[in-house]
């Protein structure tokens, strides 16, 4: 799903109004109806709502929502901060409509003394500012945000939490802290950023019937990974296939006390569809690996505790994954350097292999083109330096992806995949149950396995991250976020592949 800027969304509105055609007030009614349907589906017993409306179209949505909720037997109070300015055309039209049927629900407020008491059970609707925000909220608007944020009521933001910019960072500007954000038609980038987690709450995308032609014709560097994209990437198994068709991968992982990282990476790799897998680990990992992952072949380092030198020819492997649990011993550092010198095909670089790289920036040029780097935000910072917010972090990821001709996956709740061609993909599968040791090792094994099967590095990254998150979601549904383990993610890869296999048939 393409991610549009606030300006592109405005253009999409105009295009739809002209082509469908539909009057802007009717489009607003459609958006408001989608919100009310969502509210009644999510909170079927809820009766009382307090709605704060600004004087732009976001406020117009709020007024239409108020009228529709009243018509569905809810009880609503609307507060409009009085700025002294005329509202937008559709705000005024909706004010008139509401005034005609339920004049008693409308109240204007001008000073902090007029901030209303909100009963604890009321749901607050934030329709103060949407994508039209062009400066930080100050004065009474900022005081209103503070007041709403101080209440314990559930807050549902319409389109955007008020105060948040859709396409840029806000420098700690005042924002509404919503529990739910109902974003029209698609996501905005700000809604996907960890920096804004406290403001956006859970994000729900509500289709409002904007014209698909605009969507198809309009280019954007950013996309959310969705089922439609995954269906175009996934390669179903060939009926007459033999294991040679699906590549031979090598996972270099583990050290004394961290056999688990190697086990998790290898178990994920052998469940990725890979033809053959070899693991390279320290000598003391022999029995552990052979017992826990009998499907994988094993080559051990002469050192009992660490990977010290790569006593194998890496060239026959179609993909190599390195990093989980390897540590940063001087001898291991040499082994990483040796691999970078001898292996020229795309590899997956994770964990301590990234930490080692970060200490040797002069080795960056040795990273084979098309490699996939999987830093979490701290590793990203070690590799490429500190950034002030997620927008600058992602911009830096795009610049480095281009410079190194690599894919960079900045891992997180919505992992961000930066490609050398300047595209950025956000993942929406996965959950906080995956914030547990070993989840990243699983991803490394999975990516190595997918890359070995001949997927392009970009496709492997998109597919692998999505699949990993989907398996995490199924694991959480079965075991709870608390009790699920990284190993459970691997157990649910099977069901995830089955689900993905159905996408192609249903789209």
Ligand X SMILES: Nc1ncnc2c1ncn2[C@@H]1O[C@H](COP(=O)(O)OP(=O)(O)O)[C@@H](O)[C@H]1O
Verify binding: residue 415, ligand X, rule CB under 6 A: yes
Q: Which is nearer to ligand X, 141 or 415 (CB)?
A: 415
Find, among 279, 265, 261, the residue nearest to 445 by Cα. 265
CB of 173 to ligand NPW, least distance (A): 8
Footprint of ligand X on residues 348-367 (CB under 6 A)? Answer: 351
User: Is 435 an interacting residue with respect to ligand X (CB under 6 A)?
Assistant: yes
Nearest approach, Cβ of residue 181 and ligand X (Å): 17
Distance CA 196, CA 216 (A): 29
Q: Which of K ion, ligand NPW, ligand X, none does residue 70 bind to, with CB < 5 to 8 Å depending on kind? A: none
Q: Which stretch binds ligand X (CB under 6 A): 207-215, 284-292, 331-339, 426-434?
A: 426-434
Which residues of this protein are in contact with ligand NPW, per CB under 6 A? 9, 13, 27-28, 31, 54, 56-61, 88, 129-137, 141, 158-160, 184-185, 208, 210
Q: In angstroms, what CA-CA distances link 493 with 277, 318, 362, 409, 445?
A: 17, 22, 38, 20, 12
Q: Is 269 in the site for ligand X (CB under 6 A)?
A: no
Does 285 interact with ligand X (rule: CB under 6 A)?
Answer: no
Stretch that binds ligand X, among 103-111, 167-175, 233-241, 408-416 (CB under 6 A): 408-416
Which residue has 């509404």 as its token pair? Answer: 176
The yes or no reply on residue 445 touching ligand X (CB under 6 A) is no
Query: 353: left (phi > 0), else alpha (psi -120 to 50), else beta?
Result: alpha
Binding site partner of 41, from K ion, ligand X, ligand NPW, none, Cβ cut-off 5-8 A by kind: none
In which residue are the tokens 């009321």 written?
Answer: 122
201 is in an annotated binding site: no
| Among the listed residues 443, 446, 450, 490, the single contact to ligand X using CB under 6 A | 443
In angstroms, the CA 190 to CA 390 distance is 9
Q: Nearest approach, Cβ of 264 to ligand NPW (angstroms)?
A: 42
Strands across the sheet containing 276-281: 222-224, 424-426, 416-418, 407-410, 372-373, 347-349, 319-322, 248-252, 276-281, 297-300
DSSP secondary structure of 357-368:
HHH-GGGGGGSP
> How would you classify the pairing of strands 48-53 and 123-127?
parallel
Residue closest to ligand X when measured from CB atoms: 440
306 is known to lie in a ligand binding site:
no
What gap in Å lies between CA 267 and CA 235, rounded to an integer?
21
Interacting residues of 338 by C-beta distance below 8 A, sequence separation 6+: 309, 310
Q: Which does 60 bind (CB under 5 to 8 A by kind): K ion, ligand NPW, ligand X, none?
A: ligand NPW
468 φ/ψ angles, rounded to the nearest 5 degrees: -55, -45
Q: Does 504 bind ligand X (CB under 6 A)?
A: no
What is the spatial distance between Cα 150 and Cα 185, in angstroms, rounded to a whole number?
A: 30
Question: Pairing between strand 180-184 and 202-206?
Answer: parallel
Task: Kindly tell me which of 182 and 410 has the beta carbon lying closer to ligand NPW.
Answer: 182
Q: Is residue 328 involved in binding ligand X (CB under 6 A)? A: no
- By a kind-dependent CB cut-off of 5 to 8 A, residue 164 interacts, out of ligand X, ligand NPW, K ion, none, with none
| 153 in a labelled binding site | no
The Cα–Cα gap between 354 and 359 comes to 9
H-only helix segments in 453-492: 457-479, 486-491
Interface residues toward K ion, by CB under 5 A: 58, 126, 157-158, 162
Residues annotated in a binding site? 57-61, 126, 130-136, 159, 162, 261, 325, 376, 411-415, 440-441
Annotated binding-site residues for (6S)-NADPHX read: 57-61, 130-136, 159, 261, 325, 376, 441
Rule CB under 6 A: which residues touch ligand X?
A: 351, 376, 411-413, 415, 430-432, 434-435, 437-441, 443, 468-469
């Amino acid at each position: 799903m393409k991610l549009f800027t606030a300006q592109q969304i405005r253009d999409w509105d105009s295009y739809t109004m002209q082509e469908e055609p539909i009057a802007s007030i009717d489009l607003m009614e459609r958006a408001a109806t989608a919100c009310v349907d969502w509210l009644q589906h999510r909170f079927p017993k809820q009766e009382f709502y307090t709605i704060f409306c600004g004087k732009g179209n976001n406020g117009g949505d709020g007024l239409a929502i108020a009228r529709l909720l009243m018509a569905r037997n809810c009880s609503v109070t609307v507060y409009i901060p009085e700025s002294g300015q005329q509202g937008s055309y559709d705000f005024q039209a909706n004010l008139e409509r509401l005034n005609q049927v339920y004049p008693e629900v409308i109240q204007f407020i001008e000073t902090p003394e007029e901030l209303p008491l909100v009963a604890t059970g009321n749901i607050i609707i934030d329709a103060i500012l949407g994508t039209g925000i062009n400066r930080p909220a100050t004065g009474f608007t900022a005081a209103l945000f503070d007041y709403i944020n101080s209440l314990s009521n559930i807050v549902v933001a319409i389109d955007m939490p008020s105060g948040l910019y859709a396409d840029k960072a806000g420098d700690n500007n005042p924002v509404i802290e919503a529990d739910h954000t109902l974003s029209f038609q698609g996501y905005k980038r700000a809604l996907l950023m960890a920096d804004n987690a406290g403001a956006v709450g859970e994000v729900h995308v509500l289709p409002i019937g904007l014209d698909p032609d605009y969507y198809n014709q309009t280019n954007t560097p950013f996309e959310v990974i969705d089922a439609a994209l995954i269906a175009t990437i996934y390669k179903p198994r060939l009926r007459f296939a033999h294991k040679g068709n699906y590549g031979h991968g090598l996972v270099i992982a583990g050290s004394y006390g961290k056999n688990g990282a190697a086990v998790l990476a290898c178990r994920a790799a052998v469940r990725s569809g890979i033809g053959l897998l070899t693991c390279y680990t320290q000598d003391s990992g022999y029995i552990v690996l052979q017992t826990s992952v009998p499907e994988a072949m094993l080559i051990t380092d002469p050192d009992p505790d660490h990977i010290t030198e790569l006593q194998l020819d890496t060239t026959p492997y179609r993909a190599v994954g390195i990093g989980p649990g390897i540590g940063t011993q001087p001898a291991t550092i040499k082994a990483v350097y040796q691999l970078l010198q001898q292996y020229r095909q795309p590899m997956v670089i994770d964990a301590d292999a990234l930490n080692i790289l970060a200490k040797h920036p002069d080795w960056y040029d040795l990273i084979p083109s098309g490699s996939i780097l999987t830093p979490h935000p701290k590793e990203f910072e070690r590799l490429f330096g500190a950034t002030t917010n997620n927008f600058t972090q992602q911009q830096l990821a795009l610049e480095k992806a281009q410079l190194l001709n690599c894919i960079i996956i900045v891992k997180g709740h919505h992992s961000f995949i930066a490609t050398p061609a300047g595209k950025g993909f956000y993942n929406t599968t996965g959950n906080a149950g995956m914030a547990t040791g070993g989840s990243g090792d699983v991803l490394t094994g999975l990516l190595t396995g997918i890359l070995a099967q001949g997927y392009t590095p970009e496709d492997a990254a998109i597919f692998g991250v999505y699949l990993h998150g989907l398996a995490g979601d199924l694991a959480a549904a079965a075991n709870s976020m608390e009790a699920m383990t990284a190993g459970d993610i691997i157990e649910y890869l099977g069901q995830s592949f089955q689900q993905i296999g159905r996408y192609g048939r249903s789209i």
